[in-house]
A and B are shown apart, each in its own frame.
Chain A
Amino acid sequence: MVDKKGRRRSDRPPVDLAGDLKAKRAEFVHTFFKRGAEFTEELVAENERLRGRLAALETENTKLRTQLAKDSAVRELLGKIGQLERERERLLGEVHEAEETTNRFTNRFSEIETELENFANLYVASYQLHSTLKLPVVLRHLRELLLQLVGARALAFFVVDESKRKLVAVASDGVERSALAPITVHDAAPSGSGAAAIIERVFLTGIARVLGDDVARATLDSPAACVPMRVDDEIVGVIVIYTLLPQKKSFAAVDHELFKLLGAHAAVALTGALLYQRAGNARPSLDSLHDVGT
């Protein structure tokens, strides 16, 4: 046999084909296993990386789930808080309304208490004024009414002596009666500012003179109140309150009502007591009452 170069097979050097193939196979197997090992290592590494990533994602997932749960709870709590706030506002409104109602009732109750006390005072004044015909007792009641109900500290009752045209102090308290000189009554009301002029003016005009908020400045020369006393339409005297107790800062509405009552009733009580005294404390007979009836 001749090869391409014209040489005979017997001419060519001997070739170890089996060994060559064996070597090549060994190399291939070596490379194959090496690559396989490398690939396996890569796979293991990738697997590890993926496991780590999975764990991280699971952790993150757990965190997110927790966060979501928290947010939901917070939203729920915020909703509850809002509801409670509204409830609180509603209840506060009701409380304020109830307080206003209570205050209204308290004020009204206080007003009624004051009115009740005022009525009681006026009732007692009227009752006591006409509860006796004894002159000293009438005078004592008049003094007590002014001391207790009005809070007078110094006072006097002047009654006109028509024959002498003088106002004479018939009773006093807190000031000596002897210190109260009779006041001459002129034809016209005087314009002076002293106590005598004020009392005379009140007697002649029939108009009471009562100080306002400045009662603390009242003195014996500038009385706190002068009230004319009437029997029917005739003025017969003047009630004079010179000064008041320190705690009495001004006259109240009930004081003015009491002045009106005393102005209309004091002189009647005094006149009745005077007539009774002049009659020797003799009560009218039944016959005289019959005469009045006819």
Chain B
Amino acid sequence: MSAEYSCLVVEDSPMMRQLLVLALSRVKSLRVTEADDGVDGLRKLAGGKFDIILTDINMPIMDGLKLVKRVRTDPMHKNTPIIVITTEGSSEDRKRALELGANAYITKPIQAPQVIAKVKELLKIDT
């Protein structure tokens, strides 16, 4: 059965990215694409339509905040749900990301059930 939804995971840490991809692979109707940083993320976004974006905040080259800002000016993805991944102490980043147009945030250390629930909630996938 082909995937119904496509998801872009933007995370510079290979370990975090692998954890996120493993967690999201349990959502059967989701196809996951990985990006190393904000620039790579924009490149992938330019290549096709995504239904949801998960992005880390702290990344080299282009951080998550800049990525959120750019995505919201992209006609194809201006309404695409964005989940930002932050560390516990970065409440300012969370606030700023939400102001820029992110829809939700997840705090590290990430828990797979929390990630799955948030993605399903934003994509309105029945559990």
Interface residues of A (CB under 8 A from B): 113, 116-117, 120-121, 123-124, 127-128, 131, 140-141, 144-145, 147-151, 245-247
25 chain-A/chain-B pairs, Cβ below 8 angstroms: A113-B112, A113-B113, A117-B23, A117-B112, A117-B113, A120-B19, A120-B22, A120-B23, A124-B15, A124-B18, A124-B19, A127-B18, A128-B14, A128-B18, A141-B14, A141-B15, A144-B13, A144-B15, A148-B15, A148-B108, A148-B110, A149-B109, A150-B109, A246-B88, A247-B88
Chain A residues with Cβ under 8 A from B88's Cβ? 245-247
- Interface flag for B16 (CB, 8 Å): yes
Chain A residues with Cβ under 8 A from B112's Cβ? 113, 116-117, 120
Q: How far is the CA of A150 from the CA of B23 in the complex (A)?
A: 17
With A144-B15, A145-B15, A245-B88 as known contacts, state yes or no: A124 contacts B113, CB within 8 Å.
no
Chain A residues with Cβ under 8 A from B111's Cβ? 117
Asked whether, in the complex, the Cβ of A151 is within 8 Å of the Cβ of B14, the reply is no
Q: How far is the CA of A144 from the CA of B12 in the complex (A)?
A: 12
In B63-117, which residues have CB < 8 Å from any A CB?
A: 88, 108-113
Q: Smallest distance from the beta carbon of A136 to chain B beta carbons, Å?
A: 13
CB-CB nearest in chain B for A125? B15
Asked whether, in the complex, the Cβ of B109 is within 8 Å of the Cβ of A148, the reply is yes
Asked whether, in the complex, the Cβ of B22 is within 8 Å of the Cβ of A128, the reply is no
CB-CB nearest in chain A for B19? A124
Which of B22, B26, B109 contacts A124, CB < 8 Å? B22
Chain B residues with Cβ under 8 A from A113's Cβ? 112-113
Chain B residues with Cβ under 8 A from A147's Cβ? 108-109
- At the interface, is chain A mostly helix, strand, loop or mixed? helix
Q: Smallest distance from the beta carbon of B123 to chain A beta carbons, Å?
A: 20
Chain B residues with Cβ under 8 A from A141's Cβ? 14-15
CB-CB nearest in chain A for B18? A124
Which of A144, A151, A245, A246 contacts B16, CB < 8 Å? A144
With A120-B22, A120-B23, A245-B88 as known contacts, state yes or no: A128 contacts B109, CB within 8 Å.
no
CB-CB nearest in chain A for B111? A117
CB-CB nearest in chain A for B87? A147
4 closest cross-chain pairs (CB), A and B:
A128-B15, A120-B22, A148-B109, A117-B112
Q: Smallest distance from the beta carbon of A254 to chain B beta carbons, Å?
A: 12
Given A144-B13, A148-B16, 5 more contacts at CB 8 Å?
A116-B26, A124-B22, A127-B18, A128-B18, A144-B15
Q: How far is the CA of A123 from the CA of B19 in the complex (A)?
A: 9
Q: How far is the CA of A121 from the CA of B19 in the complex (A)?
A: 7
Chain B residues with Cβ under 8 A from A140's Cβ? 13
Chain A residues with Cβ under 8 A from B108's Cβ? 147-148
Q: How far is the CA of A188 from the CA of B43 in the complex (A)?
A: 59
Q: How far is the CA of A7 from the CA of B18 in the complex (A)?
A: 169
Chain A residues with Cβ under 8 A from B110's Cβ? 148
Q: Smallest distance from the beta carbon of B64 to chain A beta carbons, Å?
A: 16
Proximity string of chain B (5-43) to chain A, C-beta cutoff 8 Å, 1 when within and 0 when not: 000000001111011001100100000000000000000
Q: How far is the CA of A80 from the CA of B13 in the complex (A)?
A: 70
Q: Smallest distance from the beta carbon of B56 to chain A beta carbons, Å?
A: 11
Q: How far is the CA of A116 from the CA of B113 in the complex (A)?
A: 11
Chain A residues with Cβ under 8 A from B113's Cβ? 113, 117
Chain A residues with Cβ under 8 A from B22's Cβ? 120, 123-124
Chain B residues with Cβ under 8 A from A116's Cβ? 26, 112
- Of B22, B23, B113, which is in contact with the most chain A CB atoms at under 10 Å from its CB? B22
Asked whether, in the complex, the Cβ of B19 is within 8 Å of the Cβ of A148, the reply is yes
Q: How far is the CA of A127 from the CA of B22 in the complex (A)?
A: 13
Q: How far is the CA of A125 from the CA of B37 in the complex (A)?
A: 21
CB-CB nearest in chain A for B112? A117
CB-CB nearest in chain A for B107? A247
Chain B residues with Cβ under 8 A from A149's Cβ? 109
